Structure 1
Amino acid sequence: MLRNVKLLSTTLLAVMLLVVTGCSSVATESSEGTKSAVTSTSSSQDKSTNEANDKMAKMVVYVPRDDGKGVRPQTITVDSDKKTLKYAISFLFDEDSRQSYPVFPKQVTVKEVSIKDGIARINLSKEFLEGGQVDGLSAQLRLASIVNTATSFDSVKNVLLLVDGKTLETYGGYDVSEPMSRMEQQIVK
């Protein structure tokens, strides 16, 4: 949310700067997707605006729905250097904590992520197992969120979860001993 506000503020500042100095017409698009015309006198201003936009990237995280009926895609815009799987999963945990009914334990963190041959190995902290036995719905929502977020990256086809570096056999009644593929049936828009 803070990143969206920062992006919007930066965009508005750039538009105001262009309006104050400008003569020629340039179209810009706001974070809501609406286009507006602004003016500019120099191509160097256009170049700096394009460079700022080139430093931003979009990615999709899949947040558990409060009604428990699956996960919903949420597109976020981040600095290009933050468009990593580790950042996406960490953002997912943070976003879930703001829900009315969060499904992930409060202190769970992503320790490490590696991607090789299309398989993302996501190593989570021990808090992922917090609370003892996880019920089927909570486990399903957690797994669908992580797996769908990871497989939204082009380089990831399957996901293997680890906790403190150790592979899990089962989680909430689900076999997680082998890499998991995308869980399309859990995505609700």
Structure 2
Amino acid sequence: MEPVTEASKQPNVDVPADSTPTENESKDTPKQEDTPVKDQAQGTAGTTTASNDPSSSTGETKQQEAPARKEKIVVYYTDPDLMELKKASAEITYTEEKDKYAKAFKALQESSNEQLIPLWSDKITLNGVQFENGALTLDVNKPAEANLGSGGEMFALEALHKTFFQFDEVESLELLVDGKQVETLMGHVELEHPMTRNAQ
């Protein structure tokens, strides 16, 4: 009986006739297999090092993020007939102190109650907010279609005044239109520069 050798075992493997490698192809095969193995090892090592780096940008971002704060505030709207101011509560969420004022302004523009009509149109955009030493400045952009009549303008300013002076730290409120002081917001009521807590 002839001894079983590796050469005698190979014919038992089903290999299509067309795929049988030539002598030159067999010699090249190990070189082609070595390259992806090395690349894969290098890629894995690079990924592991980046994820374990404590000074990565992702880690720094997480450390710098301030916890979100929630606060219930009072917001003022009007009725569907524009006859009087209506007081309601709203919950705002913010991370930085100045964001609180931007969220409060946004609350003046939104209402889910059909009986509470915002006096500040959502077409009015907030260009910027500044707060320093008790002085709050709101800079807005107001298109003509956001204008109200004299009664509506008076209510809008009163709603703004009552909403922002509920914050004890706010001592004065300056309202600018595109970075400038204006005599009147909508053409009817004289605008104070700045508004003060006891003005209304």
Relative to the length of structure 1, the TM-score reads 0.56
Deviations 1:11-65 (A, max 9, x none): xxxxxxxxxxxxxxxxxxxxxxxxxxxxxxxxxxxxxxxxxxx943222222223
Q: Percent identity?
A: 24
Distance 2:95 2:146 in 1: 36
Larger radius of gyration between Structure 1 and Structure 2: 2
Instruction: Name 2:109's counterpart in structure 1.
Output: 93
Asked if 1:151 is matched to 2:165, the reply is yes
Cα root mean square deviation, aligned: 3.1
| Contact 2:111–2:117 (CA under 8 A) maintained in structure 1 | no
Query: TM-score, normalised to structure 2's length?
Result: 0.53
One-letter amino acid of the counterpart of residue 178, structure 1: H
In structure 2, the residue matched to 1:120 is: 136
Query: Which consecutive aligned stretches of 4+ in structure 1 deviate over 6 angstroms post-superposition?
Result: none
Counterparts of 2:159 and 2:93, CA distance in 1: 22
Deviations 1:80-121 (A, max 9, x none): 537601111012112289667553334112121112332221
Answer whether contact 2:80 2:116 (CA < 8 A) is retained: yes
**Does 1:160 pair with 2:188?**
no
User: Aligned residue for 2:126?
Assistant: 110
What is the distance in 1 between the residues matched to 2:198 and 2:150? 15
Secondary structure class of the residue paired with 1:142: helix
Change in 2 beyond 3 A, CA 1:104/1:70: same
Q: Deviations over 1:109-163 (max 9, x none)?
A: 2121112332221111132xx1487421011111111121111111112221111
Match for residue 39 of structure 1? none
* Structure richer in strand, relative to its length: 1
Structure 1 residue runs of 5 or longer lacking an equivalent are 1-53
State which of 189, 192, 200 in structure 2 corresponds to 1:174: 189
Distance 2:94 2:181 in 1: 31
User: Distance in 1 between the 2:127 and 2:113 partners?
Assistant: 18
Q: How does 1:1-189 map to 2 (within 5 A)?
A: 55-79=69-93, 81=95, 84-95=100-111, 102-127=118-143, 130-131=144-145, 134-171=148-185, 172-182=187-197
Question: Which ranges of structure 2 fall in alignment gaps of 5 or more residues?
Answer: 1-67
Instruction: Show the counterpart of 2:38.
Output: none
Q: Work out the number of aligned pairs and report it.
A: 130
Larger RCO (CA within 8 A; separation ≥ 6): 1
